């Protein structure tokens, strides 16, 4: 039953507003819309084919997520980037992700172990198939996100998971920002493997330490190779 010909757009979610929100979010994270760039309605209207009101709703939602900056009576713009913001996001991620990993290792059942193992497996297969700059590959991005999501999925708190997801998105935008200037991705595959093993063997202290290093070194990488973009604002 192919409905793809019937519904022209609206790939995600039932309402147009939810779909636009999703597409805008993706585009901001991927830096297809540059940080600080003004988001004028005429432009968005043409680009996304939705009306003022619908776009406004999407922008409002993204403003609450921290990806868009709303200036009352003066429109919206893509949230600017800065060293300070990168530090804050990294810091908050460590605080929360560390706690969620601990809880997941404490509470995770068989399904959790299976999810962690299988998402890592898919991630590795994608990396093997195409070992170059992974951020350019949408499939890698999804698989990477799902592996990290699986790791914390057994924490038992939807509230903290939602907060974590927002911070993950904000951090991923910084990764994209530096992707064009980074010489070579470091050994992420190995790190992911080690994190998985620590988690499955219920070695919470080790998993926590690995995750913290993983997050911080990614952030350091961004600060190093995209530094010129962070100060220019």
List the one residue from 76, 112, 140, 168 that touches DNA (CB under 7 A): 76
Question: Concatenated DSSP letters for the chain?
Answer: ---TTTSSS--SSSSHHHHHHHHHHHHHHTTSS-TT-EE-HHHHHHHH---HHHHHHHHHHHHHHTSEEE-TTS-EEEPP--HHHHHHHHHHHHHHHHHHHHHHHHH--HHHHHHHHHHHHHHHHHHHH--S-GGG-HHHHHHHHHHHHHHHTTSS-HHHHHHHHHHHHHHHHHHHHHHTT-SS--SHHHHHHHHHHHHHTT-HHHHHHHHHHHHHHHHHHHHHHSHHHHH--
Touching DNA, residues 107-126 (CB under 7 A): none
Does position 73 interact with DNA (CB under 7 A)? The reply is yes
State in angstroms the smallest separation of the CB of 163 from DNA.
Answer: 25
39 is in the binding site of which of a copy of itself, DNA, none (Cβ under 5 to 8 A by kind)? DNA
Quick check: 73 binds a copy of itself (CB under 8 A)? yes
From the list 35-43, 63-71, 198-206, 221-229, the region that binds a copy of itself by CB under 8 A is 63-71
Tokens of 192: 């992911």
**72 touches a copy of itself by CB under 8 A:** yes
- Residue 38 binds to DNA (criterion: CB under 7 A): yes
C-beta of 17 vs 151, nearer to a copy of itself:
17
* Residue 82 touching a copy of itself (CB under 8 A): no
Which of 22, 47, 56, 83 contacts DNA by CB under 7 A? 56
User: Residue 40 interacts with DNA (CB under 7 A)?
Assistant: yes
Contact mark string toward a copy of itself, 13..32, x via CB under 8 A: xxx-xx--------------
Per CB under 8 A, the list member of 146, 157, 203, 213 interacting with a copy of itself is 157
Which residue from 28, 23, 27 is spatially nearest to 11, judged by alpha carbons? 23
Shortest distance (Å) from residue 87 CB to a copy of itself: 8
Query: Are 162 and 101 a contacting pair, CB within 8 Å?
Result: no
Which residues of this protein are in contact with a copy of itself, per CB under 8 A? 13-15, 17-18, 53, 56-57, 60-61, 63-66, 72-73, 85, 88-89, 91-92, 95-96, 99, 157-160, 162-163, 167
């Amino acid at each position: 039953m192919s409905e793809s010909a019937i519904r022209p757009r609206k790939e995600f979610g039932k309402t147009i507003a939810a779909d636009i929100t999703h597409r805008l979010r993706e585009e901001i994270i991927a830096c297809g819309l540059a940080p600080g760039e003004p988001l004028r309605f005429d432009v968005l209207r043409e680009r996304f084919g939705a009306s003022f009101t619908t776009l406004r709703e999407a922008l409002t939602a993204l403003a609450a997520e921290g990806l868009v900056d709303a200036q009352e009576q003066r429109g919206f713009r893509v949230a600017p980037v800065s060293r300070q913001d990168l530090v804050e996001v990294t810091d908050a991620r460590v605080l929360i992700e560390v706690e969620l990993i601990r809880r997941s290792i404490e509470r995770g059942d068989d399904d959790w172990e299976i999810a962690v193992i299988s998402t890592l497996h898919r991630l590795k297969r994608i990396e093997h198939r195409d070992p170059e700059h992974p951020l350019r590959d949408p499939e890698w991005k999804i698989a990477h996100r799902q592996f990290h999501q699986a790791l914390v999925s057994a924490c038992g708190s939807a509230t903290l998971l939602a907060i974590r997801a927002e911070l993950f998105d904000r951090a991923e935008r910084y990764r994209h920002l530096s992707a064009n200037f980074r010489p070579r991705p470091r050994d992420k595959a190995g790190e992911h493997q080690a994190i998985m093993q620590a988690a499955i063997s219920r070695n919470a202290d080790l998993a926590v330490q690995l995750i913290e290093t993983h997050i911080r070194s990614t952030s350091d990488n961004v600060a190093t190779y995209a530094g010129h973009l962070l100060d220019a604002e």
